[in-house]
Amino acid sequence: MNALDTDIREGVDRDTVEAVKSLSGTYKHGWNTEIEMEYAPKGLSEDIVRLISAKNDEPEWMLEWRLDAYRRWTKLREPRWAMVQYPEIDFQDQYYYARPASMAEKPKSLDEVDPKLLETYKKLGIPLKEQAILAGVEAPEGADDRKVAVDAVFDSVSVGTTFQKELAKAGVIFCSISEAVREHPDLVRKYLGSVIPASDNYYATLNAAVFSDGSFVYVPKGVRCPMELSTYFRINAENTGQFERTLIIADEGSYVSYLEGCTAPQRDTAQLHAACVELVLMDDAEIKYSTVQNWYPGDEDGKGGIYNFVTKRADCRGKRSKVMWTQVETGSAVTWKYPSCILRGDDSQGEFYSIAIANNMQQADTGTKMVHLGKNTKSRIVSKGISAGRAQNTYRGLVSMHPKAKDSRNYTQCDSLLIGSACGAHTVPYIEVRNNSSRVEHEATTSKVDDDQLFYCRSRGMDEEEAVALVVNGFCKEVLQALPMEFAMEAQQLVAISLEGSVG
Amino acid sequence: MAAPAMKVADDRLATLPDPQGQGWLVDARRDALDRLRAVGLPGRRDEYWRYTDPRPFTAPEPRVDGRPDDDVDLDLGDAFLIEVGPHGIAWDTGAVPEGLEIDTLSRAGEIDIHWARDLYGTLEAAGSRPVSRPLGMLTTAAATDGVLLRAFGVVDRRVHVTYAPQADAVLHHVVRVEADAAVTIVETGNPGARHDTAWECDVADAGALHHVRIQGRTPGCHANTHVFARLGAGSILRSFTLSAGGDLTRNEATIDVTGDDASATIGGAAFGEGAFHHDDTVFVTHGALNGESRQVFKKVLRSGATGVFQGKILVKEGAQKTDGYQISQSLLLDDDAVFLAKPELEIYADDVACSHGSTTGAIDETALFYLRSRGVPHDQAVTLLVLSFLAEAVDEIEDEALRAAVTDLMAEWLRG
């Protein structure tokens, strides 16, 4: 019996095994753009913080805010409670700022942007020209005027933002955060750090000190944002951390749908990504925030990949405000991420829909926090975790009903699916109920891919991988349905790609 | 960091009488003491004490006065009585049921070759991984006494362990159920106004252990209990606790399913008001094939009472076909009641079915309205609904007569 035979299990033929082997390492976005880069010196110090601030032409108050965060950060200890393991990060062995040399002078319009950068985004399916919809998505009937505005962040800087003028007509501000600090200092100063204080946690504090770019959105009173907004993050430079900061303010009665995508080249060394996303919602405002996280996950043996340590929080300050987090987490070597909702306004609503897929040596510790403070607040959590290979996938969440959050409601469902016998799926929910007029329900299940469903698909002529992908897509349906159309297509394909090589 | 914790341990230990016994018992105690000193006693920042303040248990002196005066009137038929008190452990030596061997910790320590020698402290030590249980270690290190029970056949009389309460008690009981043997242990009352009590239960292949515990209603009691159990192939463990009083109760169960086809159920019904703080902390580890476990906990809370549930199912790699189930539910009768839960799953095997559910809310208004519309007075209707809610947990007791007795007692207490 040769080595290959031992890999073949009952019901899996040799072709499948061969196909699986040839498919391993199929990360689509693992290429690298050769481009001249300008780096800040390696390491982290007050000088680097000053340098980043100077590069962005920031006012004094912004620098002080950063320096204060930096000083706090030096006194903090890295959290170790998550069910993830990774070698100690040497924070002095990283670049904290890298920008394409061609961006030294900010281009006045997209036409002036280095074609290599435009090419990079085109290759990722995110062309930086003002076109109706993202490449690769067919417009459904009756949706001819569907538009998506894109802010593209390349390493430490924003390359460009599309449809700015058209958005401005509606009163919507959509620009990079560095631009917002200069152009709209009052708004930034009022809201930055008001949801995630600079001292919030280790990575948020680090981010506050060194964030280089990110997106800023302000939707004024009563405005329904005329198009989807999107930010596309690309880490390209080696040994460079990306620390973006996103701030979205939805004023009274406004609505915005925001999409976020991320990829990185395939490299042998792990890279750090520590982002902060702050959402502020006033009375009757609504934000739909969707993420397809597809950072490079490392190879099958866990070499390389992105360490994704992200703090995301929405503050529903206004009455009847509503926030919806939807995430598809397929990438990253290590994920540490808990998009949360502070339901402060009476009758406010928070929703969290998540698919987290961990394959090979990936580790994901992700979930949400629903903090009910206002009366009659509602939250819903639907989390689907899928583990394959030797991966570890953890759902960690908090539902907290404060004494004043009368008549509130939470429903939580977290399901885990295991593919293969060497992976792990874990659930760590915290439920805290401090009044009796609220109802909290929590359900969790862990199981393997249903044999009957697989057999059915196989008997219809599908190969094993196709069948698993279909069953898994069915398992994730509730979450996939919550995604905007542009992402739903990509996400469905991602679910299949991430699991390639996990069967057999 | 470890220094203050160690000091706490020493202060607490200094108040305890010197460990009794000699030989193997002294070795086991010294080992536990070393382990305890290494980890220290739990503090407020301890994740496993997130929802319950451990200080009443770790303080050198108890924060409650007097001795509990429990009246547990449970109809147990011709149960065999073992009385545990400040002056020792007593039973009718002439009437020990067939298939049962009884001893005490204080006496067994003097006997070089004793069946408890290989057990004492070993299940507790195993239960301290991966999460350390310092108060369990404390019982091994410093128990003044304990009941040692060995069932080597099917014991047809229930064994009733009852307490003559002390002010501050540390006890450590050991149970060994041999292959194909079976025994039912009913434990009533509280050993002390403050007490730290552990049961180490080793159930051999095809053995069965049924444990029913009725914690008394005396207010001002601080109870910390442990069950450390190891289950052999095809064995059964059923442990149920009814709690209806005491200011602070923490019941921990650490179950290790080591043999294939074993089945464990840990259940509890608790109701209280005011200072009542009730914590069920359960950790079930599945390390074998076809294991089954159920955790069923119900709490009814009123006027400032707090309920805590921390349950965990850990399925080790290779423990295929495990069926793990966990449910924690609480009924909050008014706005001051609090329920805090952390139901965890940690799973490293793919062919398993594990689930947990947790619900919290007020009494069902529709059901209440229905009863009221049938002429049932409000208070009676509430009692009836509470009783039916708690009964689902009591149903986990397999012994029908015992289940009925516990239900009757619960009804009486609720009405009283």
pLDDT (average), residues A458-475: 85
**What integer pLDDT is reported at residue B202 of this predicted model?**
98
Q: Is the pLDDT of residue A235 over 50?
A: yes
Which residues does B300 contact at the CB level (< 8 Å), separation at least 6? B270, B271, B272, B330, B331, B333, B386, B389, B390
pLDDT at B385: 96
* Residue A456 covered by a domain: no
Token pair of B380 as six digits: 């009676």
Beta strand B236-243 with B263-273 is parallel
Kindly state whether B340 is in contact with chain A, defined as any CB-CB distance less than 8 angstroms: yes
Q: Which pLDDT tens digit goes with each residue over A184-195?
A: 999 999 999 999
Rounded Cα distance between A504 and A6, Å, is: 11
CA–CA gap between residue A149 and residue A258 (Å, rounded): 9
| A9 at interface of B, judged by CB pairs closer than 8 A | no
**Cβ contacts of A403 on chain B, cutoff 8 Å:** 335
Task: Read off the tokens for A165.
Answer: 């003028």
pLDDT cut 90: percent of chain B above it: 77
Alpha helix segments (H runs only) across A32-163: 46-55, 60-75, 115-123
Instruction: Kindly tell me the burial class for residue B377, based on how many C-beta atoms sit within 10 Å of its own C-beta (0-12, 13-18, 19 or more).
Output: exposed
Alpha carbon of A79: minimum distance to chain B alpha carbons (Å): 13
Mean pLDDT across the stretch A452-479? 85
Chain A residue numbers with beta carbons less than 8 Å from the beta carbon of B362 are 436-437, 439
Cβ-proximal residues to B305 (8 Å cutoff; 6+ apart), any chain: B272, B273, B274, B275, B276, B277, B278, B336, B337, B338
Residue A389 with chain B: CB contacts under 8 Å: none
Q: Does A32 touch chain B (CB under 8 A)?
A: no
A473 domain-assigned:
no
Alpha-helix runs per DSSP H in A357-484: 451-459, 464-475, 477-480
Nearest to B347 among A426, A439, A442 (CB): A426
Contacts of A448 in chain B (CB under 8 A): 350-352
Please tell me which of the candidates A421, A436, A447 has its beta carbon nearest to residue B335. A436
**b/e map B280-295, b = 16+ CB within 10 Å:** bbbbbbbbbbbbbbbb
Residue A282 maps to a domain? yes
Residue A209 within any structural domain of the chain? yes
In a 3-state reduction of DSSP, which class is residue A426?
A: strand
A249 vs B: CB within 8 A = no
Q: Is the pLDDT of residue B290 over 60?
A: yes
The more confident residue out of B260 and A33 is: B260
Instruction: Search chain A and give the residue with CA nearest B358.
Output: A442
| Percent of chain A's residues with pLDDT above 90 | 45
Mutate to test the interface with A, among B345, B351, B363 (most CBs of A within 10 A): B345
Domain assignments of chain B as residue spans, ordered by start: 2-362
Question: SS3 for A402-419, per residue?
Answer: CCCCCCCEEEEEEEEEEE
Shortest Cα–Cα distance, A359 to chain B (Å): 14
Chain A residues touching B344 at Cβ < 8 A: 426-429
Banded pLDDT at B45 (limits 50, 70, 90): confident
Residue with tokens 């760590």: A428
8 Å CB contact of B47 and A419: no
- Residue A439 falls within a domain, yes or no? no
* AA letter at A105: E
HSE (side-chain half, CA atoms, 13 Å) at A222:
0
For residue A109, being part of any structural domain is answered with yes
pLDDT tops 50 at residue A172: yes
The pLDDT tens digits of the residues spanning A289-335 come to 998 888 888 888 888 889 999 999 999 999 999 999 999 888 889 99
Q: Which are the contacts of A256, defined by CB distance < 8 A and separation ≥ 6?
A: A172, A217, A219, A225, A229, A248, A250, A286, A287, A288
More confident residue, A25 or B354: B354
Instruction: Determine, for residues B343 and A440 on separate chains, whether the beta-carbon distance falls below 8 Å.
Output: no
Closest Cβ opposite residue A420 in set B320, B350, B361: B350
A77 touches chain B (CB under 8 A): no
How much is the pLDDT for B4?
56
Cβ contact B341–A81 (<8 Å) = no
- Looking at this protein, which amino acid is placed at residue B120? Y
Does B346 touch chain A if contact means CB atoms closer than 8 Å?
yes
Residue B271: strand, helix, or coil: strand
Q: Does B273 touch chain A (CB under 8 A)?
A: no
| B368 shares contact with chain A (CB less than 8 Å) | no
Q: Say what the pLDDT of residue B97 is.
A: 97
Give tens-digit pLDDT for B133-188.
999 999 999 998 999 999 999 999 999 999 988 889 999 999 999 999 999 999 99
Q: A335, A365 in Cβ contact below 8 A?
A: yes
Residue B6 has pLDDT above 70, yes or no: no
Contact criterion met (CB < 8 Å) for B361 and A430 = no
d(C-alpha B211, C-alpha B22), whole Å: 30
Q: Using the predicted structure, report yes or no on whether residue A130 has a pLDDT greater than 50.
A: yes
Residues sharing a CB contact under 8 Å with residue A229, sequence separation 6 or more, in sequence order: A148, A149, A151, A167, A174, A215, A217, A256, A257, A258, A259
* pLDDT attached to residue A138: 43
* Yes or no, beta carbons of B358 and A431 under 8 Å apart: yes
Domain that holds residue A300: 30-337
Quote the CA–CA distance of B29 and B37 in Å, as a whole number.
12
Q: Which residues lie below 8 Å from residue A18, measured CB to CB, with a gap of 6+? A: none
* Alpha carbons within 13 A on the beta-carbon side of A365: 18
Q: What is the ipTM of this complex?
A: 0.89
Q: Average of pLDDT values for B84-91?
A: 92
For residues B196-211, give the mean pLDDT: 98
Per-residue pLDDT tens over the stretch A347-405: 999 999 998 989 889 999 999 999 999 999 999 999 999 898 899 999 999 999 999 99
Chain B residues in contact with A425 by the CB 8 A cut-off are 345, 347
The pLDDT confidence band at residue A136, using thresholds 50, 70 and 90, is very low
* Total tally of structural domains belonging to chain A: 1
The answer to whether the Cβ–Cβ distance between A437 and B362 falls below 8 Å is: yes
Put simply, the answer to whether A423 touches B350 (Cβ < 8 Å) is: yes
Among A336, A303, A271, smallest CA distance to A96 is for: A271
Residue type, A424: G
Position B110 confidence tier, pLDDT thresholds 50, 70, 90: confident
Residues 388-407 of A with CB under 8 A from B: 403, 406
> Is the minimum CB–CB distance between A81 and chain B shorter than 8 Å?
yes
The minimum CA-CA distance between A207 and chain B, rounded to whole Å, is: 26
**Does residue A121 lie within any of the structural domains?**
yes
* A chain contacts of residue B335, beta-carbon cutoff 8 Å: 403, 406, 435-437
Q: Please, what is the average pLDDT of chain A?
A: 84
CA-based nearest distance A181→chain B, Å: 39
Q: Which residues pair with A410 in a beta bridge?
A: A379, A440
Contact B335 A422 (CB under 8 A): no
Q: Is B343 helix (H, G, I), strand (E, B) or coil?
A: strand
Question: Looking at residue A364, what is its pLDDT?
Answer: 94
A-chain residues within 8 Å CB-CB of B361? 436, 438-440
Dig out the tokens for B274 from the structure.
Answer: 């005011």
